[in-house]
Structure 1
Amino acid sequence: MEVLTRPTSGTPQTKVEPGLSAHLRRRIATTFQSRWENEWGKRFVTHGSEPGPNAVRLDGNDYLSVTGHAAIVQAQLDALRRNRDFIVQSGVFQLDGSPSSRFEGALADFVGKESALLCQSGYTANLGLIQVVADPETPCYVDSLAHMSLWEGVRSAGAPAVSFRHNDPEHLDRMIRRDGRPGLVIVDSVYSTTGALCPLERIVEVAERHGCMVLVDESHSLGTHGPEGRGLCAELGLTHRVHFITASLAKAFAGRAGFFTLPDELRPYLMCHSYPSIFSSCLLPHELAGLAATLEVVRASDAERARLRANTLRMRRALEDAGYPIAHGSEQIIGLEAGPEADTLALRDRMEERGVFGAVFCAPATSRNRSMLRLTLNASLTDAEMQHVESVARELAPVVKPWEWAIARRLK
């Protein structure tokens, strides 16, 4: 492949790349080329049009609308000015009493657990935790719609992955009985594609009956559910019965990090065996300061949580009235599962033409023919914005015929 570059002299120069191997080219041609050319039209699937100034953005995860909050920005600025000689190093070198350690303690207290460990992302949190607490002798019973990072954690641990039907405690019970061994039960509190709420009480009861540990990914409920936003485990009074809580801090906290909880007795062992923790750099001071300030903002955001819930109930009711099959979810994430990728892209383009921007989810984030346009609501949506989205959905319903989508037939 030849790429034109412009050196400092201003004279164009041709740069020649060595090229891909024949095997890799064949693999791309076999597994991807048709998808790229025929279904995507040589335009990357997640790249729609540029939102204009009046666009309604439903493609982010800042559920409480904390981005740009004055207290958070000020904390970040103060940290940038104050920490000019900070040493960038692996997180395992952060001493007790460091800003990182103090924030880990604050997070643990917030969710009601003994200890917590910060990570670069929610993905590395799940990977690094499961890699340590599971092994080839630990079957992992995983909800079929659990986040990819959870599945990757199981794979990294070399543990047997046993899938159970989505949000089906009875099927989980049968799968544990069939395997015959206690292990690790893995679920999301709120599922990231459908907005379905986990039947967590029944899941925990099944796990306890069989002597299994429980891991709950609270990425999409931390900040939005429970007292002060402490999450679904806290809302249901299950924190003391759940072994591990993980979460991305790129959702309601609108930052760039993740964490997981752990008992103090596990920490030294984990710090020697969790590869993402060992081989990733620590968070930077301004990131920690911003997240610590965000935690206080989240605690005080009861009004925003109430508005988010009201927006969720209103939008779901409007979409269902217009014929969209979304009954498989109940929370602030709404999946419009058009099915084939070409149909989802057409739905996305029609909505964007009318100023409504969601996010396309397709394989590997979903099953191959269960792609969707995901709409994520937030607390700061105005009545006018809500009305506009509802109007666009009603206008498009006779065109895209959501009552004929495969998911509509399955829900019936």
Structure 2
Amino acid sequence: MKNNVTRLILSKNFPCAMEPDFLERRVNAYYRNRVQNTWGGGHIMRGRVPDKSALLLSSNDYLFLANHPGIVKATSESLLEEGNGLLMSGVFLHAGSAQAKLEKKLAAFMHAEAGVLCQSGWCANTGLIQTIADERTPVYMDMLAHMSLWEGVRSAGATAVMFFHNDPGYLEKQVLKHGPGVIVVDSIYSTNGSICPLREIAEIAGEQGCILVVDESHSLGTHGDQGEGLVASMGLTDRVHFRTASLAKAFAGRAGFLVCSERFSEYFKCESHPAIFSSTLLPYEVAGIDATLDVIRKEGWRRDKLHVNAAYLRLHLDALGYNLNDSQSQIISLESGSEQQTIVLRDALEARGIFGSVFCAPATAKNRALIRFSIHSGLTQFDLDRIVQVCADIRDEVDLANWPSSRRKRSTPSTAHECSDSIMRDLAGVA
């Protein structure tokens, strides 16, 4: 297989402890089955090194804020003035701290009573599920829900009950079968950019006495009049119990956030393992997020440009024959199928200066690997046309017509649940 991946070169500069057989077998299996047999001796996520002319579509900086001068200034001033601050768990913070004030400001932005800043979106999700579910609680998971939510179920010792992606009818059948529990969805799904039917899901949760958790990682900052997210913009804050978000997306920072009631926030800080056993955010991170929030609220043109850019690419890539799997957002994925085929796609794109993110198992089901484009507001019309032209030029080279996703695009609507059932079977091993 032609493969332009960066070769994995392993060297031993220092003596290491001898690995026991049970670990040696696992590590050897990875290098044999994935690195050598599947990736041709390289790494699926490390292809060419981009040059200055490359278009980088691998960053989740949707609003193009990572180098915003106002945010950089606030962050650097805080670092120079306070250094790294007090290094301790956030459970020790008092109400008057800068982080506590930012939690209130972010919660108000999302039309919520209270909020808790966490080290990451992963910590927010795993910590939340761990504190609201136990071994007696069925947790109803959209089959494309983020892996951090699945990990939360495992940590809680709860039972995960999958339902077909974005299928409220099937969810309701599962709840009627297994009883009230926790329903977990993403507002926008990270692998394919589809949007959750939140109104229908909230209605089922209310009728069946379930807790509803919505991960807004990919809609916070990008959706709503001021970027408040889909739940608030749709007027569903009184029907969604908990919202979480990674601030490593539109906020271009490094933190997670949970919105909830004031009463629950105190409970969470003292019961969530990630909250207790992780260090608090550093002062310059708090200052940067605070400044970012102000920019997101004021510079609405960034959201407008983001949505125009994403709509343009969705329209033209769909017309070229790519199956975008119901993307309705700034996340646009080309599902090439096998990991070997995804390397071919990656190499074809990168050879022409287009760099996306490779998603493969365990981030996707087996043989549903893809290249994800994260669209941002900094892309010009010239950039957009360049992406479209490259995707048009490589269709034969990457054998687009024979991708499984292309065959699904050509299939009749009656096969949709058969496809979902196939994904669910694949994901059973992933989850």
* Distance in 2 of aligned mates of 1:313 and 1:216: 24
* Distance in 2 of aligned mates of 1:83 and 1:31: 44
* Distance in 2 of aligned mates of 1:45 and 1:23: 26
Instruction: Among all aligned residue pairs of Structure 1 and Structure 2, give the percentage whose two residues are the same amino acid.
Output: 46
* Distance in 2 of aligned mates of 1:398 and 1:46: 23
Map 1:387-398 → 2, pairs under 5 A: 387-398=385-396
1:78 maps to: 77
Once the 2 structures are TM-superposed, how far is the Cα of residue 312 of structure 1 from its aligned partner? Answer: 0.7
Range with bigger deviation, 315-324 or 241-250 = 315-324
1:264 maps to: 262
Once the 2 structures are TM-superposed, how far is the Cα of residue 398 of structure 1 from its aligned partner? Answer: 2.0
1:218 maps to: 216
Once the 2 structures are TM-superposed, how far is the Cα of residue 114 of structure 1 from its aligned partner? Answer: 0.8
2:38 maps to: 39
1:281 maps to: 279
Q: Deviations over 1:237-283 (max 9, x none)?
A: 11121000000000000000001112112233222210000000000
Map 1:122-201 → 2, pairs under 5 A: 122-179=121-178, 181-201=179-199
> Which amino acid is 1:134 matched to?
A
Once the 2 structures are TM-superposed, how far is the Cα of residue 21 of structure 1 from its aligned partner? Answer: 1.4
1:407 maps to: 405
Q: CA RMSD in A?
A: 1.5
Mind listing any 5+ residue stretches in structure 2 that lack a counterpart? 1-9, 412-431
Question: Aligned pair count?
Answer: 402
1:100 maps to: 99
1:365 maps to: 363
Once the 2 structures are TM-superposed, how far is the Cα of residue 370 of structure 1 from its aligned partner? Answer: 0.5
* Distance in 2 of aligned mates of 1:170 and 1:4: 55
TM-score, length basis structure 2: 0.91
* Distance in 2 of aligned mates of 1:39 and 1:88: 43
**8 Å Cα contact 1:59-1:375 kept in structure 2:** yes
**8 Å Cα contact 2:84-2:284 kept in structure 1:** no
Query: CA distance change for structure 1 residues 56 and 24 in 2, over 3 Å: closer, same or farther?
Result: same
Q: Deviations over 1:128-159 (max 9, x none)?
A: 11110111122110100000000001111111
Mind listing any 5+ residue stretches in structure 1 that lack a counterpart? 6-14
> Which amino acid is 1:166 matched to?
H
Q: Deviations over 1:64-118 (max 9, x none)?
A: 0011111101111111122148211101111101001001001100101111000
* Distance in 2 of aligned mates of 1:301 and 1:137: 46
* Distance in 2 of aligned mates of 1:318 and 1:378: 17
Divergent runs of 4+, >4 A = 2-5
Q: SS in structure 1 opposite 2:340? A: helix
**8 Å Cα contact 2:348-2:397 kept in structure 1:** no
Once the 2 structures are TM-superposed, how far is the Cα of residue 32 of structure 1 from its aligned partner? Answer: 5.3
* Distance in 2 of aligned mates of 1:27 and 1:287: 38
Q: Deviations over 1:164-190 (max 9, x none)?
A: 0000000000000111x2111000000
Once the 2 structures are TM-superposed, how far is the Cα of residue 410 of structure 1 from its aligned partner? Answer: 2.7
**8 Å Cα contact 2:135-2:158 kept in structure 1:** yes
**8 Å Cα contact 1:143-1:186 kept in structure 2:** yes
TM-score, length basis structure 1: 0.95
**8 Å Cα contact 1:325-1:403 kept in structure 2:** no
Q: SS in structure 2 opposite 1:153? A: helix
Q: Which of 252, 255, 258 is residue 253 of structure 2 equivalent to?
A: 255
